């Protein structure tokens, strides 16, 4: 059985005090139901949020990292720097980074390899655009992205990765993939993992769904066989809705 995960991607939101308050409220209200809770604040708030979460089981993620350990990369943050702040996860390849910052599949792969070297668990995002879906290219697109992101990994390394299927047309739009649409892609991806690695890896790797996840639509998603949790943007910015998602994930 895979542990359910609810991960909050705060994106470029919240001032320092708001971020600390939200972290505290989540830590205070986190249900003890076996669901793994992860929050990803902006990097300048990681140190303060780490403190706010110090005695709680809620885990910390970065929203990005550079692949090099240090060097002349103005504006970037490295894996070892994140480790110093007790960060355990790193979101990589989010569609906003691909779209607005031109991140390529090859760069994402370098970051995945570097994160694993630093013992950070990558949360690797991928998903099709609306035109991909309309042209029936969804499976080809996600397979390409996942294979590229995981290039050069051993099965043992792949088992440390969390995948997050986020159809671009569903992010921040209020349109969610139907549970059947999402399940179909998740099931397909397990097949890709089995082919690329082995059965154990295919069964071990958690595959989260992301894209307008809200308390009112989460229960029908999380009850699908191959959906192991959610990567949540908007609904992760309020403790009430985030904690509600945590409770729903614990009820399956
Ligand atoms: P959303 O964002 O829940 O606001 O759609 C999800 C994401 O981008 O991870």
**10 Cα–ligand 1 center, Å:** 9
- Using a 6 Å cutoff on CB, does residue 232 contact ligand 1? yes
CB-based contacts of 43, cutoff 8 Å, min separation 6: 62, 63, 64, 77, 82
Phi, psi of 15 (to 5 degrees): -75, 175
Angle at the Cα of 211 from the Cα atoms of 209 and 213, rounded to 5 degrees: 80
Residue 164 alpha carbon, nearest atom of ligand 1: 9
pLDDT band at 175 (very low <50, low <70, confident <90, very high): confident
pLDDT value at residue 104: 98
Q: How far apart are the two ends of the chain, measured CA to CA in Å?
A: 12
Distance CA 177, CA 218 (A): 11
| Residue 252: pLDDT over 90 | no
CATH 3.20.20.70 fits 5-250, yes or no: yes
- Of 125, 156, 120, nearest to 141 (Cα)? 125
Mean pLDDT (whole number) for 88-109: 98
Span 31-79, pLDDT tens digits: 999 999 999 999 999 999 999 999 999 999 999 999 999 999 999 999 9
Please identify which of the residues 94, 96, 143, 186 carries the catalytic annotation. Answer: 94
Using CA atoms, how far apart are residues 49 and 243, in angstroms rounded to an integer?
17
Is there a catalytic annotation at residue 156? no
41 lines ligand 1 (CB under 6 A): no
CA 5, 223, 154 angle in degrees (round to 5)? 50
Ligand 1 pocket test, pick from 8, 94, 234 with the greatest ligand atom count within 8 Å of Cβ, gives: 234
Bridge partners, residue 91, by sequence: 123
Ligand 1 centre to CA of 228 (Å) is 16
Q: Is the pTM of this model over 0.95?
A: yes
Q: Does the Cβ of 233 fall within 6 Å of ligand 1?
A: yes
Can you give the pLDDT at residue 240? Answer: 98
Which residue among 103, 128, 143, 166 is the active-site one?
Answer: 166
Domain locations along the chain: 5-250
Supply the pLDDT for residue 1. 80
Mean residue pLDDT of the chain comes to 97
**Index of the ligand 1 atom closest to the CA of residue 213:** 3
Residue 216 annotated among the catalytic residues of the structure? no
Q: How many CB atoms lie within 10 A of CB 140?
A: 12
Q: How far is the CA of 232 from the centre of ligand 1 (A)?
A: 5
Q: How far is the CA of 50 from the centre of ligand 1 (A)?
A: 22
Query: Is a pLDDT exceeding 90 seen at residue 3?
Result: yes
């Amino acid at each position: 059985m895979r542990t359910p995960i609810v991960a909050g991607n705060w994106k470029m939101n919240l001032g320092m005090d708001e971020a600390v308050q939200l972290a505290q409220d989540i830590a205070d209200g986190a249900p003890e139901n076996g669901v793994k809770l992860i929050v990803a604040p902006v990097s300048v708030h990681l140190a303060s949020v780490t403190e706010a979460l110090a005695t709680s089981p809620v885990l910390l993620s970065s929203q990005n990292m550079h692949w090099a350990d240090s060097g002349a990369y103005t504006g970037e943050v490295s894996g070892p720097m994140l480790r110093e702040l007790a960060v355990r996860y790193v979101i990589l390849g989010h569609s906003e980074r691909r779209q607005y910052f031109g991140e390529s599949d090859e760069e994402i792969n370098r970051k995945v390899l570097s994160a694993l070297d630093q013992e950070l668990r990558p949360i690797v995002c991928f998903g099709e655009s609306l035109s991909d879906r309309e042209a029936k290219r969804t499976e080809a697109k996600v397979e390409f992205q996942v294979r590229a992101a995981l290039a050069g990994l051993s099965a043992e390394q792949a088992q440390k990765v969390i995948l997050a299927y986020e159809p671009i047309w569903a992010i921040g739009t209020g349109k969610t993939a139907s549970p059947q649409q999402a399940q179909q892609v998740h099931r397909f991806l397990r097949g890709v993992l089995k082919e690329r690695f082995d059965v154990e890896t295919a069964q071990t790797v958690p595959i989260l769904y992301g894209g307008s996840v809200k308390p009112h639509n989460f229960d029908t998603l999380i009850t699908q066989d191959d959906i192991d949790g959610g990567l949540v943007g908007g609904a992760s910015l309020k403790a009430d809705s985030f904690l509600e998602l945590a409770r729903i994930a614990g009820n399956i």
